Copies of this chain bind each other. A is one copy, B any other.
């Protein structure tokens, strides 16, 4: 299988595949005489796993950890569960943040119903007056 076919099978672009290789997530495949990459079923399976992890918003670091753990098939999978639980915690944190954000946005939005001059717009006034809440730093890689 050449890179284009692999990419189609895994629903991603050729560039992304090459990027994963450079990032160390996907093993370097064999090459043809003409220097084209040749992939096997095991590459596709691995790539699918990576794409699924990404679809679940895991970071490359988290995926890397999972892949390392998956290499020792006889070990206890407790560590796998731990990586997973941590990621769920990330998602939870971000969900709470966004929920809080939406409350703030909605309350700001109610301060203006359009038709005012910009000068008198409750939203802009609110944005200028709001007291900045210091965020306690990044606790998740989710934006």
Which residues does A use to contact B, with CB under 8 Å?
Answer: 10-11, 45, 48-49, 51-53, 55-57, 66, 69-70, 72-78, 80-81, 84-85, 87-88, 91-92, 94-95, 98-99, 101-102, 104-106, 108-109, 112-121, 123-124, 127-128, 130, 132-135, 142-143
Contacts and interface: CB of A to CB of B under 8 A. Distances in A.
Contacts of A69: 118
A56 B117 contact: no
A80 B118 contact: yes
Contacts of A56: 101, 104-105, 108
Contacts of A77: 112, 114-118, 120-121, 123-124
A142 B95 CA distance: 12
